Amino acid sequence: MRERRPAVLAELTWPEATTALADAVVILPVGAIEAHGPHLPLDTDVVIAVEMARRTAERLSATQPVVLLPPLSYGVSYVGTCFAGTTPAPPTALSQTVSEILVTLLDHGAAAALITNAHLEPAHYAALTEAAERAAGMTQKPVALPDLREARWAARLSDEFQAGMRHAGAYETSLVLAARPESVRQDMLPHLAPVRIDLPAALRAGARTFADAGGDLGYFGDPATATAEEGERLFTVLAQIAVEALEEAEL
């Protein structure tokens, strides 16, 4: 029996897409173009979301058809605009775009949808949550969006993540080392001192940007301790979280 593999929507013709989408789970990776310290690329969140989607698709495809969608690279990323290159999308535009994508594909025969998101800005998650709820309501089909900020998921990631140091520190740097190591400026890592600041708490207290929150170089945590091995472990956990979130949405 030939092994079933996830389909990649952008590589299909429309007749092939008709077949691939039938009763499939469609997975949409969403990230942001945003500063991630002096050592990680602006598309860090895209890299993580795409790899999370790929690994989740491999797990799901053993039992059901899966279609991987092209990633959305721009997110609601105003907190990083104090650094060059950060490019935000308006929340309403992102929400409408995501819901339109999912509704269209669900109407073309997909059975469920999953968003793998790696950008944690509160306004970004709010826009995606609105989109997921709208798509589910319009199609009456499951749409899953695991919120990694929830305590039950965060507890399975890392101590640094749970402590709120979850932007371009050891957590994200390890993930990029596992997914696309050539993009990490590894020569810089030994020179980056830990920034032990709870970023979500700083934002709740009124900080408007990374710099306001104390991240003068655009990172929080300890990127010098990152390893590809930890990134592999984290991706395994992220894929399992995505599978469980989809199962919950399908109940």
Please report the domains of the chain, with CATH numbers, ordered by start residue: 7-250 (3.40.50.10310)
Q: Are 102 and 113 in contact (CB under 8 A)?
A: yes
What pLDDT does residue 4 have?
Answer: 79
> What is the per-residue pLDDT for 251?
67
**Whole-angstrom distance, CA of residue 193 vs CA of residue 85:** 23
Residue 3: the pLDDT is: 61
- Taking the C-alpha atoms of residue 26 and residue 103, their distance in angstroms, rounded to an integer, is 11
Q: Which of 148, 130, 61 is nearest to 90 (CA)?
A: 130
Answer whether 231's CB lies under 8 Å from 179's CB.
Answer: yes
What length does the chain have? 251
Contact between residue 74 and residue 88 where contact means Cβ atoms under 8 Å apart: yes
Report the pLDDT value the prediction gives residue 1, as an integer from 0 to 100: 37
Per-residue pLDDT of the chain (251 residues; tens, 9 = 90+): 346 799 999 999 999 999 999 999 999 999 999 999 999 999 999 999 999 999 999 999 999 999 999 999 999 999 999 999 999 999 999 999 999 999 999 999 999 999 999 999 999 999 999 999 999 999 999 999 999 999 999 999 999 999 999 999 999 999 999 999 999 999 999 999 999 999 999 999 999 999 999 999 999 999 999 999 999 999 999 999 999 999 999 86
